[in-house]
């Protein structure tokens, strides 16, 4: 990782060796490479005079220090990363033409795990979903899977994302987070009932993973896999931890340090205890997708729902191992830039509106966070067997500016094009029913999966812990109406859940959501048609 072979031949220093250099082999220099003998000395006029403008060493030292920070990620700011390799164990060639899924294919990877809401210095044992991003450096370019540790998400309409995330951030006036004041958190959730499946997972026993090695990863979104005959299926990607899953209870979480997950991952790798994951796919044909919508009201473009694994079993494709820590956290983890839009031929996005928005949002934030040429940073640079070229030029830090070649599509000096392997007419002409239009609407089916969790999956002590986690968190919510509404939402999941929560909080909730109207969201279960 961190190698930039494709830059060879440019007037450019290859820093590959410097990355591994030992301190005793390094000479102290100014940034322009001149040896400098006095790292701790400012130049001063006389013995008591002011400092000299000619002292480039000091001026450069201070001004570089002044600019050391790049903005932290607007979400998922706290994270840990490592490098490793991926290998395809079971060919997926029947489903996709992606080169990386041919049997035996391998590639180097970089993985970054994260919490979501907290700032860069926040606690990595927080009750929060975890990010799980993998950059596969394939021979056809980088493929990023920007996943979470939960199969579902809080929302299915991307317009809600910035609002929802703001409720996880500091209040503009009190500057407190929802750990101290949970009002805005519950205010948002009680207005957006499609979040309730994720809320059950978050506030239940699976809400605090025990480090990053013991958790699975889920694309959540639906992608499309296209084979060489232009046949395609919908697919979700799952990473299954070979370490198994482990979680921390609310009670125990207080005794963990703020960098527990970072330490756990780093030292496991240092000790040669390399964590591994299976890569699996779950697929659904276009016809099955229509049937699933007609019979079960599960829309493949709706990431608040899962595809039942009994109906659509997982198929293992490969596995990856993390066997190398970053030598330099900033260069290799802070600067790594994942995007769901970094795809390779044979893997296409689906029409899921949240995914479609993410295709835009990540590269957009990278251009702001680490610069327009972020793909040229060593950790992000593709490692392809051909000479890469396009007509993107200049911009800040363009250290691979493509030499003397014409900067337009020249017929005098043409470059070559690969053959199109995916026929977009065939893959993008299908949309399932009218479901896309009504993604925001709340439907009875939204409560099926959370109800199964409460009634069938959890045992009695798990239910008790959930009630205690929620009622503890709600103690800091000052908006009584939000609590009444949230209990109404929980009542659609289960009467038992709602009445226990009423007892634990001492608050009375609504009898359900039929009488409620939601801020910005259609209530398909409203009695009153005007509320729909």
Could you give the CA distance from residue 368 to residue 333 in angstroms, rounded to a whole number? Answer: 17
Smallest gap from Cβ 161 to ligand HEM, in A, equals 4
Query: Which one of 61-69, 343-351, 357-365, 492-500 is the stretch in contact with ligand HEM (CB under 6 A)?
Result: 357-365
Count of residues making up the chain: 532
Distant-in-sequence, close-in-space partners of 358: CB < 8 Å, separation ≥ 6: 146, 158, 221, 339, 340, 341
Residue numbering of the annotated binding site: 362
Q: Interface residues for ligand HEM in 309-338 (CB under 6 A)?
A: 337-338
113, exposed or middle or buried, with CB in 10 Å at 0-12, 13-18, 19+?
buried
Smallest gap from Cβ 503 to ligand HEM, in A, equals 34
Per the CB < 8 A criterion, the answer to whether 314 and 238 are in contact is yes
Distant-in-sequence, close-in-space partners of 255: CB < 8 Å, separation ≥ 6: none
Smallest gap from Cβ 125 to ligand HEM, in A, equals 18
Q: Which is nearer to ligand HEM, 237 or 498 (CB)?
A: 237
Could you give the CA distance from residue 471 to residue 453 in angstroms, rounded to a whole number? Answer: 19
Smallest gap from Cβ 194 to ligand HEM, in A, equals 13
Q: Which is nearer to ligand HEM, 82 or 513 (CB)?
A: 82
Query: Which one of 67-75, 101-109, 323-331, 521-529 is the stretch in contact with ligand HEM (CB under 6 A)?
Result: 67-75
Per the CB < 8 A criterion, the answer to whether 260 and 291 are in contact is no
Between 113 and 152, how does the x/- string for binding to ligand HEM read (CB under 6 A)?
-x----------------x-x------------xxx----
Among the options 76, 123, 214, 216, which is catalytic? 76
Q: Which of 320, 362, 466, 518 binds ligand HEM (CB under 6 A)?
A: 362
β-strand partners of 83: 110, 324
Could you give the CA distance from residue 397 to residue 380 in angstroms, rounded to a whole number? Answer: 14
Distant-in-sequence, close-in-space partners of 445: CB < 8 Å, separation ≥ 6: 296, 297, 298, 305
142 included as an active-site residue = no
SS3 502: helix
Could you give the CA distance from residue 4 to residue 331 in angstroms, rounded to a whole number? Answer: 13
Q: Is 112 in the site for ligand HEM (CB under 6 A)?
A: yes
The H-or-E segment that residue 281 falls in is strand 276-284
In the numeric block, the tokens 């164990």 are attached to: 89
Q: Which of 2, 6, 7, 76 binds ligand HEM (CB under 6 A)?
A: 76
Could you give the CA distance from residue 149 to residue 211 in angstroms, rounded to a whole number? Answer: 12
Of 370, 362, 317, nearest in space to 133 by CA: 362
Q: Interface residues for ligand HEM in 337-356 (CB under 6 A)?
A: 337-338, 354
Q: Which is nearer to ligand HEM, 36 or 164 (CB)?
A: 164
Could you give the CA distance from residue 257 to residue 125 in angstroms, rounded to a whole number? Answer: 8
Please state the separation of Cα 443 from the chain's center in Å. Answer: 27
Q: Which is nearer to ligand HEM, 141 or 158 (CB)?
A: 158
8 included as an active-site residue = no
Smallest gap from Cβ 134 to ligand HEM, in A, equals 10
Q: Interface residues for ligand HEM in 221-280 (CB under 6 A)?
A: none
SS3 286: helix
Phi, psi of 395 (to 5 degrees): 85, 165
Among the options 142, 148, 373, 380, which is catalytic? 148
Q: Which of 21, 42, 52, 74 binds ligand HEM (CB under 6 A)?
A: 74
Q: Which is nearer to ligand HEM, 217 or 509 (CB)?
A: 217
Smallest gap from Cβ 309 to ligand HEM, in A, equals 18
Residue numbering of the annotated binding site for heme: 362
SS3 55: coil
Q: Interface residues for ligand HEM in 162-221 (CB under 6 A)?
A: 220
Could you give the CA distance from residue 305 to residue 478 in angstroms, rounded to a whole number? Answer: 31
Q: Is 415 in the site for ligand HEM (CB under 6 A)?
A: no
Of 156, 169, 162, nearest in space to 128 by CA: 169
Q: Is 466 in the site for ligand HEM (CB under 6 A)?
A: no
Closest residue (Cβ) to ligand HEM?
A: 131
Q: Which is nearer to ligand HEM, 148 or 505 (CB)?
A: 148
Q: Which is nearer to ligand HEM, 357 or 521 (CB)?
A: 357
Q: Which of 7, 57, 73, 224 binds ligand HEM (CB under 6 A)?
A: 73
Query: Which one of 175-183, 362-370, 375-383, 480-488 is the stretch in contact with ligand HEM (CB under 6 A)?
Result: 362-370
Q: Which is nearer to ligand HEM, 153 or 223 (CB)?
A: 153
SS3 75: coil
106-115 and 141-148 strand pairing:
unpaired
In the complex, the residues that contact ligand HEM under the rule CB under 6 A are 73-76, 79, 112, 114, 131, 133, 146-148, 153, 158, 161, 220, 337-338, 354, 357-358, 361-362, 365-366, 369
Q: Which residues are catalytic?
A: 76, 148
């Amino acid at each position: 990782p961190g190698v930039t072979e494709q830059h060879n031949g440019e007037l450019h220093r290859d820093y590959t060796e410097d990355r591994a250099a030992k301190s005793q082999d390094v000479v102290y220099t100014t940034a322009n490479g001149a040896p400098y003998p006095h790292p701790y000395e400012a130049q001063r006029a006389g013995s008591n005079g002011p400092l000299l403008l000619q002292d480039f060493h000091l001026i450069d030292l201070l001004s570089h220090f002044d600019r050391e920070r790049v903005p932290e990620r607007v979400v998922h700011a706290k994270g840990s990363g490592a490098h490793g390799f991926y290998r395809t164990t079971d060919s997926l060639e029947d489903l996709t033409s992606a080169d990386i899924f041919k049997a035996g294919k391998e590639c180097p990877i970089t993985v970054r795990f994260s919490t979501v809401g907290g700032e860069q210095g926040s606690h990595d044992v927080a009750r929060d979903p975890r990010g799980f991003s993998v950059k596969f450096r394939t021979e056809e370019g980088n493929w990023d899977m920007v996943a979470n540790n939960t199969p579902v998400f809080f929302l299915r309409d991307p317009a809600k994302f910035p609002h929802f995330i703001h409720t996880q951030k500091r209040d503009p006036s009190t500057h407190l987070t929802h750990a101290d004041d949970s009002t805005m958190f519950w205010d948002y959730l009680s207005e957006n009932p499609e979040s309730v499946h994720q809320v059950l997972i978050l506030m239940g026993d699976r809400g605090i993973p025990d480090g990053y090695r013991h958790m699975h990863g889920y694309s959540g979104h639906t992608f499309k896999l296209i084979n060489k005959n232009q046949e395609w299926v919908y697919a979700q990607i799952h990473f299954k931890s070979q370490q198994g899953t482990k979680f921390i209870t609310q009670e125990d979480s207080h005794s963990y340090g703020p960098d527990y997950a970072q330490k756990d991952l780093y030292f496991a790798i240092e000790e040669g205890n390399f964590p591994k994951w299976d890569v699996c796919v779950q697929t659904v044909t276009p016809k099955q997708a229509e049937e699933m919508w007609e019979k079960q009201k599960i829309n493949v473009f709706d990431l608040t729902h899962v595809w039942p694994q009994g109906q659509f079993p997982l198929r293992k494709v490969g596995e990856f191992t993390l066997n190398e820590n970053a030598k330099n956290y900033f260069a290799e983890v802070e600067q790594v830039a994942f995007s769901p839009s970094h795809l390779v031929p044979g893997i296409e996005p689906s029409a899921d509106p949240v995914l479609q928005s993410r295709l835009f949002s990540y590269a957009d934030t990278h251009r702001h966070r680490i610069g327009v040429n972020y793909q040229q940073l060593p950790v992000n640079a593709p490692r392809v067997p051909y000479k890469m070229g396009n007509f993107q030029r200049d911009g800040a830090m363009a250290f691979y500016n493509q030499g003397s070649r014409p900067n337009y599509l020249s017929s005098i000096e043409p470059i070559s094009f690969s053959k199109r392997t995916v026929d977009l007419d065939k893959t993008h002409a299908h949309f399932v029913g009218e479901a896309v239009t009504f993604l925001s609407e709340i439907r009875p089916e939204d409560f099926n999966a959370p109800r199964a969790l409460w009634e069938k999956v959890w045992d009695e002590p798990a239910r008790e812990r959930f009630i205690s986690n929620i009622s503890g968190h709600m103690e800091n919510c000052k908006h009584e109406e939000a609590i009444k509404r949230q209990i109404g939402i929980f009542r659609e999941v289960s009467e038992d859940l709602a009445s226990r929560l009423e007892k634990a909080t001492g608050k009375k909730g609504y009898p359900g959501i039929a009488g409620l109207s939601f801020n910005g969201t259609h209530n398909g279960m409203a009695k009153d048609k005007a509320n729909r």
